[in-house]
Structure 1
Amino acid sequence: MGSLVTDPATFQRLFEDFHHAAFKLEVRRSYGVPSEDEPFQVFLAGGDPGVAWLRSWLDLMRAETAKGKRVERVRVVDEPPSDYLRFELSVTPHNIAAGEDIRYLARRRATELALPQYDFWLFDSQLVAFLHFTDDDQFVGFSTTEDPAEVLKHCQCRDRAWTRALPFSAPPTTVAAAA
């Protein structure tokens, strides 16, 4: 695993530079992303947080998927879903409209499938980006590897998760019941 990279522009380049497919396994129950703090609080108070805070990501996804690239995620969910997951669910239609394909997998099922208990992105089945967080869920950066054994392991995790996860159109309560 490479050294920790904290530069946001370097992280964004991973999405600009991949050629075919990017996949993310999301296993955290919450994410401490400063740009989401205010919208998350608005959501918790019952308001509409809008998506202005998410616009740069949506624009990037729209641009990259318009080139024929695939961006896929599997979100591991608890039942009932955490407040943060409910917040994510509220904006997921915008992610889908921007070209992402997002699916859900019950946490119990993820454990049975021996999926990692950490988040990662897999680019073109050639590079793994491990996401690093503090104990209080703050994103601090990422590290990468192109080691063939590590890449293969994460490709296999992707395949196990993707083939068993349910599409966004199935709400998390259905995911938990069906998995």
Structure 2
Amino acid sequence: MPSSAPSFADLLLRCQRSAVHLELRDSYAPTDRFEAWKRGERIEWEDRQSWWHPYDQLITDTVKRGVVIRRARIVSEPVSEYIRWEHYVTRANITAGEEVRWLPRRRATAIALPGNDFWLFDDRLLRVHHFSGDGAVVEDEITADPEAVKLCSTAFEAVWERAVPHHLYAI
């Protein structure tokens, strides 16, 4: 189903203070990069041009404007193969300027969580991701509903407080 939601780039361009992203799934639809990693191919981190993508530049440019970007992932343990790959490629997110933390799912039991992954911009606007069962994005929903914003903001902060910084989360 096509989405009429503003692009992620447009939402980040309007963002002034903070953008937070909560990921709740243990796998998403496979990508060519994931398949290459499964075959044993690895990124040459020293050759930034070989892996730097427009997303990375967008994040860097946004952080340079003073916007704090945080990502938290809730993961089952032992982690899935997909999460092992995500952990590996998170170096790109960090290099671009994101702060990333990981929360083992068993430590999230007492947190009221939304049913979907989301981005929250400036604590006022949500971009909610709706996925198919196999992890493909079906639609993105934009909402400023105060109850949804409050739930997602509170959930993200509770996850962030309990989560392990990327450099300390060993897989």
- TM-score band w.r.t. shorter chain: 0.7 to 0.9
- Given candidates 20, 23, 27, the residue that maps to 1:26 is 23
SS of 1:169's equivalent in the other structure is helix
RMSD: 2.1
Q: Is the 8 A contact 1:81 1:172 kept in 2?
A: no
Match of 2:64 in 1: 66
Q: Secondary structure at the match of 1:40?
A: helix
TM-score, normalization by structure 2: 0.88
Q: Distance in 2 between matches of 1:144 and 1:103?
A: 24
C-alpha spacing 1:101/1:75, structure 2 compared with 1 (3 Å): same
Matched, 1:40 2:38: no
Number of the residue aligned with 1:154? 152
Q: Is the 8 A contact 2:52 2:92 kept in 1?
A: no
Following superposition, the deviation at residue 133 of structure 1 comes to 0.9
- How many angstroms does 1:16 deviate by? 1.7
Structure 1 residue 115 displacement after superposition = 2.1
Cα gap change, 1:5/1:72 in structure 2, threshold over 3 Å: closer, same or farther?
A: farther
Is contact 2:5–2:140 with CA below 8 Å preserved after alignment? no
Q: Distance in 2 between matches of 1:156 and 1:86?
A: 27
Q: CA deviation at 1:22?
A: 0.5
- Which residue is 1:177 aligned to? none
Q: Which runs of 4+ in 1 moved over 3 A?
A: 49-54
TM-score, scaled to structure 1: 0.84
Residues paired across the two proteins, number: 167
Unaligned residue ranges in structure 1 (runs of 5+): 174-179
Any residues of structure 2 matched to 1:97-116 within 5 Å, and which? Answer: 97-116=95-114
1:78-108 CA distance string (max 9 Å, x none): 2121111111111111211110000010111
Inter-CA distance 157–84: structure 2 relative to 1 (3 Å threshold):
same
Among all aligned residue pairs of Structure 1 and Structure 2, give the percentage whose two residues are the same amino acid: 35
**Unmatched 5+ stretches in structure 2:** none
Provide the C-alpha distance between the structure 1 equivalents of 2:110 and 2:87, rounded to a whole number of angstroms: 24
Of the structure 1 ranges 149-158 and 64-73, higher mean CA displacement relative to structure 2 is found in 149-158
Map 1:117-136 to 2 at 5 A.
117-136=115-134
Cα distance, 1:49 vs structure 2: 4.7
